[in-house]
Structure 1
Amino acid sequence: MLDPYILQSPSLLSTPPDETSTLLINNLVFMDDSTLISSSKAGLEHMLSITEEFYTLNNTSANHHKYILISNFLPLTTTSDFSPVEFNLSLSSLNSISFISVTPISITSSFRFLGVWFNIKGSRDFVKKQIAHECNFFAATLRLAKLTAKQVVYLYNTVLIPKLEYRMQVTHLSDKDCYIATRLVRSLVKQKANFFQALPNPILYLSQALGLINLSSHLIQCHANNLFLMANSTTSFIQRLFVYRLMLIQFQFLIPVSPLMVVDWSL
């Protein structure tokens, strides 16, 4: 593994890091969707050379014009025009391509992997707009449809919510953001049920009533479930990643003990 991306667990102590506190990552692959990760340009060139040889062995090819390059070394600006980066590949009997040129995207831009959008800067604006668009489109599509309130709730809970959950699995939106994004959906449900628009929203969420899923509460539950699955994973990498996340939380909040031992998080 040449120059992988290294996740180093932060620590409040001055003790030297050991092997268990670091995670080495150089790729994320699912079916035909691949992401190469490296801490250096040489590392990417090495992996790109391997991929070209793989394509030759399997009698296939990749569209280099669809390659996307994202780097955390780029300036935090949206106005800069970046020049293409040229990756020099190693020639061999299986690879006749000497270089690949890729233009990096801005560090403030979001990029997609397996349908989930990421942002190096950590901005949630793109996902927030996506969620609002999905909810508004859902409400606009069903507003004129001859459906009952229960049918609309069923479609929202079983069709739209899983889609939103997938899009937000790496992005946490605040309760206010979720409230604003689902505003038109709640209005639609009230209209179909012949309720006054001034009806308190919590009534819609009651299981004894319509049982509309509260997006914010559902999102918190999903993150808690993912945390539980990571904590109980039998995969060594996931276990180490879970420990890394705990140490990162401990470092950011200056907690002297494991975050799992904290009972009251209120300030």
Structure 2
Amino acid sequence: MDPYILRSPTLLLTTTDDTSHVTINNLVFMDDSTLISSSTAGLEHMLLITEEFYTLNNTSANHQKYVLISNSLPLTTTSATSPVEFNLELFPLNSISSLSVIPISISSSFRFLGVWFNIKGSRNFVKKQIADECNSFATTLHSVRLSAKQVVYLYNAMLIPKLEYRMQVTHLSEKDCYAATRLIHSLVKHKANFSCSLPNSILYLSQALGLINLFPYMIQCHVNNLFLIANSSTPFIQRLFVYRLRLIQFRFLIPISPLNVDDWSL
């Protein structure tokens, strides 16, 4: 099916063995499916399988909702792209001869299982999402008669898990996290009748209100996820983890494993 291959980068003249590469052709969760291929022919083959599956199970898919993401588009593409035509063979279980899908812009973000990705690696979309969530939370509760402790509880128990899910593949700077939660800090101080000039660090104290500081919390979550991936018993996750380590090693020209680097300062 011509799967997409993540090839481990190397500075050596000799190529790495195939066991260091990661091949993948699909990601499926419930009714959310993602087909991955390194060629149009590979996608056509998998699309044919899906159409036959729908016929066998007396179901159908909304082709208008199909989204195509391609890393072969120029990184400077800003204008509208032309539709990509997928030609499918006609079989007793397939009556669809072709599918036309418009690829999204290389600079656009796309969602998979509620998490947003960007091929260019831009964090702007997720950063705006986090800020909008926090601002909406603060605006909604500003006029509601709640105590400071109640606001902190709602923030820690309801909003923080949502932000954590959205940021699980995106790392924001401390400045970005502070800007996103600025109205939250003001709201808590207002509800507690504190001065606006009160340092935010006091709000974070467990002996005080125990408001979660978004930046260190995000770092802790990323470290926890890294630990879980590094100790995964799934062979695919293990190979993917090794691939990411080699990618970091290649991009930063590190002669040793990134796990053995103690000081990342330049």
**TM-score where L is the length of structure 1:** 0.97
**Corresponding residue for residue 162 of structure 2:** 163
Contact conserved, 2:86 with 2:100, CA < 8 A, in 1?
yes
**Corresponding residue for residue 106 of structure 1:** 105
* 1:187 CA drift (Å): 0.5
* 1:111 CA drift (Å): 0.8
Alignment of 1:115-264 (within 5 A): 115-264=114-263
Contact conserved, 1:77 with 1:106, CA < 8 A, in 2?
no
2:77 & 2:37 partners in 1: Cα distance?
23
RMSD of aligned alpha carbons: 1.0
1:192 & 1:15 partners in 2: Cα distance?
64
2:212 & 2:2 partners in 1: Cα distance?
45
2:236 & 2:78 partners in 1: Cα distance?
38
1:248 & 1:72 partners in 2: Cα distance?
17
2:105 & 2:51 partners in 1: Cα distance?
26
Contact conserved, 1:186 with 1:201, CA < 8 A, in 2?
yes
**Corresponding residue for residue 73 of structure 1:** 72
Alignment of 1:41-60 (within 5 A): 41-60=40-59
Contact conserved, 2:110 with 2:117, CA < 8 A, in 1?
yes
**Corresponding residue for residue 62 of structure 1:** 61
2:121 & 2:178 partners in 1: Cα distance?
21
2:103 & 2:245 partners in 1: Cα distance?
32
Q: Match of 2:6, SS?
A: strand
Deviation per residue, 1:80-103 (Å, 9 max, x gap): 121211100122111111100111
1:83 & 1:67 partners in 2: Cα distance?
15
Q: Match of 1:28, SS?
A: strand
1:189 & 1:31 partners in 2: Cα distance?
39
Contact conserved, 2:78 with 2:107, CA < 8 A, in 1?
no
Deviation per residue, 1:91-134 (Å, 9 max, x gap): 21111111001111111111111111111111111111100000
1:31 & 1:260 partners in 2: Cα distance?
35
2:218 & 2:14 partners in 1: Cα distance?
37
1:108 & 1:9 partners in 2: Cα distance?
25
Moved more, 74-83 or 257-266: 74-83
> Runs of 4 or more off by more than 2 Å in structure 1?
12-15, 75-79
Q: Match of 1:117, SS?
A: strand
Q: Match of 2:186, SS?
A: helix
Contact conserved, 1:86 with 1:101, CA < 8 A, in 2?
yes
2:25 & 2:205 partners in 1: Cα distance?
46
* 1:266 CA drift (Å): 2.1
Moved more, 87-96 or 129-138: 87-96
**Corresponding residue for residue 28 of structure 1:** 27
* 1:78 CA drift (Å): 5.5
Identity of aligned residues (%): 79
